[in-house]
């Protein structure tokens, strides 16, 4: 080695210096640097993981917020719908109550008018009877006894003879209800007799009475779609038809 100009001692010292330098660099320079790099890498990795977790948390929060918002909108819609339905129902009930009250008032007024009309016609019955008796006496030229007079007038207006409804003689029909129309209001006794005869012969379960002065006298009985006309107006119309 000396022939080559190399000093073995010096070379050995250089090798030792290199080894020492390598050890120093590896242990006190490279090692800490690698440690710092590794720590930095872990910090970055942790930051990325934290960012991922934060992104997931934000996405979940946004999804939950959207769900809450949708539920809130649905709930508000339901509340508005229920309020609208309640308002409509309340308005309908108010209208129904108002209509019912108006109908009740109208029916009461009509009943009152009908009652007053029947009362007036009932009061006129005696006057009409007196005039009719006077006219009959003048026509036949003789006086009728008072009992016979009242019997004829009552038969004329009530359609009753010997306690029976004349127009129902030979009647052959049935029904659940009957409507009896007279020219003037019947007395309580007359209504009872007519009702009993109608229930017996027609089989009706209910009988109603109404007044129509235009029929002049006698009775018109309606059972379902069938009508038995025993009124004076009906008889006069029949006579007119026969005379044509």
Give the DSSP letter of residue 184.
S
* Per-residue 3-state assignment (H helix, E strand, C coil) for 13-27: HHHHHHHHHHHHHHH
Sorted by where each begins, the domain ranges of the chain are 1-117, 144-243
Q: What is the mean pLDDT of the chain?
A: 78
Q: What angle do CA 135, 136, 138 make, to 5 degrees?
A: 65
pLDDT tens track for 225-236? 888 888 888 888
In the chain, the DSSP E strands lie at 160-161, 164-165, 177-182, 206-211, 219-223, 226-229
Q: pTM of whole model > 0.85? A: no
pLDDT tens track for 82-115? 888 888 888 888 888 888 888 887 877 777 777 7
Q: Measure CA 59 to chain center.
A: 49
The confidence score (pLDDT) of residue 141 equals: 45
Most confidently predicted of 62-71, 129-138, 141-150? 62-71
Q: How many other CB atoms are found less than 10 A from the CB of residue 1?
A: 8
**Band of residue 168 on the pLDDT scale cut at 50, 70, 90:** confident
Dist CA 167 CA 159 (whole Å): 7
Least confident of 172-176, 178-182, 239-243: 239-243
* Distances in whole angstroms, Cα of residue 40 to Cα of each of 29, 51, 55: 16, 16, 22
Dist CA 213 CA 125 (whole Å): 11
């Amino acid at each position: 080695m000396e022939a080559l100009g190399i000093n073995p001692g010096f070379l050995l010292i250089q090798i030792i210096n290199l080894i020492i330098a390598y050890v120093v660099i590896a242990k006190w320079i490279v090692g800490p640097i690698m440690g710092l790099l590794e720590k930095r890498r872990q910090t970055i990795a942790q930051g990325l993981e934290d960012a991922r977790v934060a992104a997931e948390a934000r996405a979940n929060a946004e999804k939950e917020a959207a769900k809450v918002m949708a539920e809130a909108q649905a709930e508000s819609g339901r509340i508005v719908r229920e309020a609208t339905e309640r308002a409509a129902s309340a308005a309908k009930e108010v209208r129904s109550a108002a209509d019912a009250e108006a109908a009740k008032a109208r029916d009461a007024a009509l009943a009152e008018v009908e009652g007053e009309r029947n009362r007036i016609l009932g009061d006129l019955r005696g006057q009409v009877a007196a005039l009719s008796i006077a006219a009959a006496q003048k026509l036949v030229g003789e006086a009728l006894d008072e009992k016979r007079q009242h019997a004829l007038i009552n038969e004329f207006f009530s359609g009753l003879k010997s306690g029976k409804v004349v127009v129902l003689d030979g009647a052959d029909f049935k029904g659940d209800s009957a409507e009896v129309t007279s020219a003037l209001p019947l007395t309580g006794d007359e209504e009872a007799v007519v009702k009993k005869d109608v229930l017996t012969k027609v089989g009706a379960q209910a009988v109603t009475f109404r007044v129509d002065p235009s029929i002049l006298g006698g009775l018109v009985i309606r059972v379902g779609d069938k009508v038995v006309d025993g009124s004076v107006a009906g008889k006069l119309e029949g006579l007119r038809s026969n005379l044509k």
